[in-house]
Amino acid sequence: MRRSSSARIGVAGAAETDAAARPVAPYERAPERRRRELLESALLEFSTKGYGGARMDQIVGRTNSNKAMLYHYFGSKEELYIAVLEEVYAGIRRSEDEIDFDGLSPPDAIRRLVGFTFGYYIDHPSFVRMINNENLHAAVFLKRSKSVAALNTSIIVKLGRILQRGIETGDFRKGIDPTDLYISITGLAYTYVSNRHTLSIVFKRDLFRPSMLQARRRTMADMVLRYLATGR
């Protein structure tokens, strides 16, 4: 019943808030379009209100469908949430699969990886919020997902290759675990985006000012490269 859908959900930060709001013509017979429309609306809802705060009515209200359709396609609130979660994970995996580090020097490759990671979070606030939600619930929904088993971590493989090349060129030191490093990179980027509202209040700075984003990008790359650097 659940089709593997190649279309992407919430690709851009701006798009994902707008897309669901603009309704298309009613009564159009296009199941896949409808399903997607519902999924996008659900993403918006779950990612801004959390699982418990999300309302099926709201999700349907932004679309051209009705509640019976929503249930017809997704079965229940929980299944809908899981479908959204799977979409969101599939989205980042696809993006990661597309990056190519091959023409770059190891330090430049690292810079690109850091930049990509930060950029992806910034462009996909819903992704960030869904992850937070999942962790709030100790990932019970993710565990229930069947497609999660298929989650590859090709990015770790790619990072491993970069490190290896860096060692060979003498740019990087040995003994760095790629997963551990990836978690560091993710952490530096993720919290900045995830916690931007509270951090902005506590530190009385707007963390999303262009100049601030720029500075952060530099700090991050700097920190990672200095961490990897040989010598001294």
Partner DNA sequence: GATGAATGAGATTTCATTCAT
Partner DNA sequence: AATGAATGAAATCTCATTCAT
Q: Answer with the entry of DNA, its own copies, none that 29 interacts with (C-beta below 5 to 8 A by kind).
A: DNA
Name, in order, each residue with C-beta under 8 angstroms of 46's C-beta and a sequence gap of 6 or more.
Answer: 54, 81, 84, 130, 133
- Residue 179 within binding range of its own copies, rule CB under 8 A: yes
| Total number of residues that touch its own copies (CB under 8 A) | 58
Q: Residue 213 CA to chain centroid, in angstroms? A: 18
Name, in order, each residue with C-beta under 8 angstroms of 121's C-beta and a sequence gap of 6 or more.
Answer: 127, 128, 189, 190, 192, 193, 194
Name, in order, each residue with C-beta under 8 angstroms of 209's C-beta and a sequence gap of 6 or more.
Answer: none
Residues 133/50, Cβ–Cβ less than 8 Å:
yes
Residues 168/110, Cβ–Cβ less than 8 Å:
no
Q: Which of 3, 22, 25, 27 forms a contact with DNA (CB under 7 A)?
A: 27
- Residue 217 within binding range of its own copies, rule CB under 8 A: no
- Residue 201 within binding range of its own copies, rule CB under 8 A: yes
Calculate the CA dihedral of residues 195, 46, 19, 38 and round it to 10 degrees.
160
Q: Which of 133, 158, 162, 217 forms a contact with its own copies (CB under 8 A)?
A: 133
| Total number of residues that touch DNA (CB under 7 A) | 23
Q: Which of 55, 94, 197, 218 forms a contact with DNA (CB under 7 A)?
A: 55
- What's the CA gap between 200 and 119, in Å, rounded? 19
Q: Which of 11, 17, 71, 227 forms a contact with DNA (CB under 7 A)?
A: 71
Q: Which of 10, 34, 82, 110 forms a contact with DNA (CB under 7 A)?
A: 34
The nearer residue to its own copies, 36 or 117, going by C-beta atoms, is 117
- Residue 195 DSSP one-character state: T
Q: Which of 5, 17, 64, 195 forms a contact with DNA (CB under 7 A)?
A: 64
Stretch that binds DNA, among 75-83, 105-113, 172-180, 219-227 (CB under 7 A): 75-83
Q: How many CA atoms lie within 13 A of 181 on its CB side?
A: 26
Q: Which of 16, 43, 51, 63 forms a contact with its own copies (CB under 8 A)?
A: 51
- Residue 139 within binding range of DNA, rule CB under 7 A: no
- Residue 157 within binding range of its own copies, rule CB under 8 A: no
Residues 112/104, Cβ–Cβ less than 8 Å:
yes
Residue numbers at the binding site for its own copies (CB under 8 A): 47-54, 129, 131-139, 142-143, 148, 151, 153, 156, 179-180, 183-184, 186-192, 194-203, 205, 215-216, 219-220, 222-224, 226-227, 229, 231-232
